[in-house]
Structure 1
Amino acid sequence: MKHTTDANDQILVREQFTVYLHPYGPARWSSEARQTYDIFCLLQGALRWTDESHADELRAPAALLASPGEQVGANGAHVTYLLVTLAPAYVLDCAVRARLTRADARITFTTHAVNRAERLARLAHDFAAEMRAPEPGQELVVAALVEQLTVHLLRHHANIRRADELELSRVGLVDRRIRRAVELMHAQLHEDVPLEEMAAAAFLSPFHFARLFKKVTGTTPHAYLAALRLERARALLATTDLSITEVSARVGYTSPSHFAKAFRQATGLSPRTFRAALILEVRG
C-alpha cells in the first residue's frame, strides 16, 4: 500500500485495522501486493484511478475499494482522503456476526470505484473529526466506526460466496493449499526464505507452487513475503519503542538504509515519518 504523507497526516494502527487521514495535498496510493481490504475514501478534490484493466477520473464524494491481492491505484494533486485497511479475518468475523455468511466464505468487493458515495463519505468525515481532535475514548469510537464501515461495505459492495479452500489458521485466513508455506513465511520474517523451501512446505514443485500462489493471492511468493515484512515493521513501529535499526533486523533487513528505502517504496513515507504521524492512546 503506497501513499503520500506530510506533517499533517495522522495514522492510527491497531491489530485488525489501520486508519490514515490525509488532510489536503497530493495523493499517490496503490494497493499493490497487499493482503488486506483497502478502502480509499475521497473527501475533497478529484483524481485519476487505475486497476488492472481500467483508468478513469474520480470526484469527491467517492471511494476506491480493493480486495486482498487486487491492484488499484490513484493519483491526485489537491485532495483530502481517508484510507482504511482491514485484516481479512476481521472482515470475515464481521460478516459472520452480522449473519451474512458462515466462516467458510470468500469475500470480495463487487466494484473498485464507488461514485457519489454519500454514506461512505459521512462515515469518513466522522473518522476525520475523531482523528483531528482526539479525546479519551477515541479508540472505542474509531473501532465502532470501522465496524459500521465494514458492515456497510458487506451489505452494499461485497460478493460473499462459499470457499471450501479457505481456513482460519494461526496466521489468519489462508487458502489451505498454501497454508503451510504462508505459516513458514510468518515464522521466518527475519530471514530469507527460498522459493524451494516455500514450495516444499506446500508439498509442491517450485513451478506449480509459484503458479498456484499467484492465482490464489494475486501476487508472487516473494512479493507476498516482502509485504508481510513491511506489515510487521509497521506494527513494530506503532506498538514498540524499538529503534528503526532493531525493527529492520526483526523483519529481515541487514541494512537499516535498505529497510528505509523498501519501507518508503511500499508506503510513501520513511519509518521515522510514519512513527511521527502515529496517533497514540489518549488518556483523560
Structure 2
Amino acid sequence: MSLTLLAPEKMLEVIPGEVTIKGTVDTLLNKGMSIRGYRFYKTEVDIPSMRDYELVRWKKGTANLGFHDGSRWRKNAVQANDVTILTRGESSRWYWMNDIEVSHIYISQALMAKVASEIFHKNIDRVFVDHYPIVNDPALSALMGRYEAEVLSEEPGSDLFSQSLEVQLCIHLMRKYIKCDGQEETASRISSARLDALQRYIVTHLSGAISVKDMAAIVDLSPSHFVRVFATVFGVSPHQYVQAQRLKRAERLLSTLRNVPLKAVAMDCGFADQSHMTRLFKERLLMTPKEYRDKHAFSLFGSLTVQ
C-alpha cells in the first residue's frame, strides 16, 4: 500500500457525477484555496482521506443523506445552503438517494497553518477539525457563496476581495469548529512502547469503530499531529492501516471458519456491513469474500456451503 490522499482534481474519480462550475481547482493547484461546483449522482461512496480540508455548500439538497460515523449510519435531511465540513487525512462514508448539486471549497494545510499562526498564534499541528456531516451556519454559507461569486467574477478587485474572503473563511472555521489541544507536542516519532500499545489497541478493537482521535490518545498526540507522524512511521494513513488489518482478519476467518456467515465475518472485522467488505475484497484482492473462502477455506469435518 502507499499513502494516497485524494486531491481536489481527482474528486470525480471517486464520486460519480459531473462538473457544473469549473472554478479554480485546475488553475490554483498550488494555492491555498480553490473551488469547484458539481452535480453528483445518486450513490453510496467511500471517500478516501482528503489532502485538503473541504467545505461543501449544498445548492440542491436531499431528504435522505447518510453519513457513517464509524459504528452506524446517521440519516440527515439537507436543505439548500446547508454546509458540510470534512477534515483532511481521514476518510468518510456516505450515501444520498437523489442527484445533488454542491460547490466544494478546498483549503490547503499550508493556508490553515498560516492563519492559525498569524491570527490565533496556534501551531496547526495542535488543532483538529472533525467531520461535520451537516451544519446550519448561515454566516459560513454566506461567506462561501460570496467567495464563489468573487472567484468567478471579472470585476476589478475580485482577486484581492477573494483573498480577504479566504482568510475570513479560515478564521470562521477556527472560531467555531477547530479544536485545540493544550499539550505541547514536540515529538517527531512514536516511541516503540507506544507503537506497540497502538498496534495492540487496533487489533483488539477491530470489531468496533476506531477513530483517529482514539488512536491519537493512545500515543498522547493530537489527532492532526498523529496523522502526520503515523504516515511517516507506517507509510499509510491511519484509516488505510486499520482497513488493511480488517482485511487481514477477514482473510484469516474466511480461511478457517467455513460455516460462519459472511455477514458475521464482516461484523467481527469491523466493516460497516457485508457489502462494504465485499467492495474492499474486490478492490484489493480482485475477488469476493465468498470466492476467497471457496479458494482458501478448509474444514476438518468436511465442507459446508454457506450462502
1:27, 1:107 → 2: CA distance? 34
Q: Partner of 2:78 in structure 1? A: 59
Q: Partner of 2:41 in structure 1? A: 26
Work out which of the residue numbers 113, 128, 143 in structure 2 matches 1:92. 113
Q: Residue 131 of structure 1: CA displacement?
A: 4.2
Q: Residue 224 of structure 1: CA displacement?
A: 4.3
| 1:22 partner SS | strand
Structure 2: tracts of 5 or more residues without a match = 1-5, 7-13, 203-211, 217-225, 241-282, 284-307
Q: Structure 1 8/89 Cα, relative in aligned 2: closer, same or farther at 3 Å?
A: closer
Q: Residue 150 of structure 1: CA displacement?
A: 0.9
Q: How does 1:163-242 map to 2 (within 5 A)?
A: 163-165=183-185, 176-177=188-189, 211=199, 215=216, 216-217=226-227, 221-224=234-237
| 2:163 partner SS | helix
Determine if contact 2:34/2:107 at 8 Å carries over to the other structure.
Answer: no
Determine if contact 2:59/2:101 at 8 Å carries over to the other structure.
Answer: yes
Q: Partner of 2:300 in structure 1? A: none
| 1:42 partner SS | strand
> Which range is displaced more, 24-33 or 70-79?
24-33
Alignment of 1:15 onto 2:19: no
Higher strand share: 1
Over residues 168-198 of structure 1, what are the superposed CA-to-partner deviations in whole Å (9 max), with x where a residue is unaligned? xxxxxxx6217xxxxxxxxxxxxxxxxxxxx
Q: Residue 153 of structure 1: CA displacement?
A: 0.9
2:227, 2:142 → 1: CA distance? 32
Letter in 2 for 1:119: A
| 2:71 partner SS | coil
Q: Residue 94 of structure 1: CA displacement?
A: 0.9
Which is higher, the Rg of structure 1 or of structure 2? 2
Determine if contact 1:63/1:115 at 8 Å carries over to the other structure.
Answer: yes
Letter in 2 for 1:78: D
| 1:81 partner SS | strand
Q: Residue 59 of structure 1: CA displacement?
A: 0.8
Q: Structure 1 4/11 Cα, relative in aligned 2: closer, same or farther at 3 Å?
A: farther
Q: How does 1:99-110 map to 2 (within 5 A)?
A: 99=120, 101-103=121-123, 106-109=126-129
Work out which of the residue numbers 7, 12, 18 in structure 2 matches 1:6. 18
Q: Structure 2 length as normaliser, TM-score?
A: 0.50
Determine if contact 1:62/1:113 at 8 Å carries over to the other structure.
Answer: no
Q: Residue 37 of structure 1: CA displacement?
A: 2.2
| Paired positions, count | 193
1:118, 1:34 → 2: CA distance? 25
Q: Partner of 2:254 in structure 1? A: none
| 2:18 partner SS | coil
1:11, 1:224 → 2: CA distance? 29
Q: How does 1:124-135 map to 2 (within 5 A)?
A: 124-135=144-155
Q: Structure 1 145/50 Cα, relative in aligned 2: closer, same or farther at 3 Å?
A: farther
1:134, 1:176 → 2: CA distance? 45
Q: How does 1:238-249 map to 2 (within 5 A)?
A: none
Q: Residue 14 of structure 1: CA displacement?
A: 4.1
Q: Partner of 1:156 in structure 2? A: 176
Determine if contact 1:37/1:88 at 8 Å carries over to the other structure.
Answer: yes
Determine if contact 1:65/1:111 at 8 Å carries over to the other structure.
Answer: yes
Determine if contact 1:111/1:157 at 8 Å carries over to the other structure.
Answer: no
Q: Partner of 1:41 in structure 2? A: 57
Q: Residue 106 of structure 1: CA displacement?
A: 1.4
Over residues 216-262 of structure 1, what are the superposed CA-to-partner deviations in whole Å (9 max), with x where a residue is unaligned? 2297644449x9xxxxxxxxxxxxxxxxxxxxxxxxxxxxxxxxxxx
For CA contacts below 8 A with separation 6 or more, give which structure has more relative contact order: 1
Q: Residue 82 of structure 1: CA displacement?
A: 2.0
Q: Residue 45 of structure 1: CA displacement?
A: 1.3
Q: Residue 155 of structure 1: CA displacement?
A: 0.8
Determine if contact 2:49/2:92 at 8 Å carries over to the other structure.
Answer: no
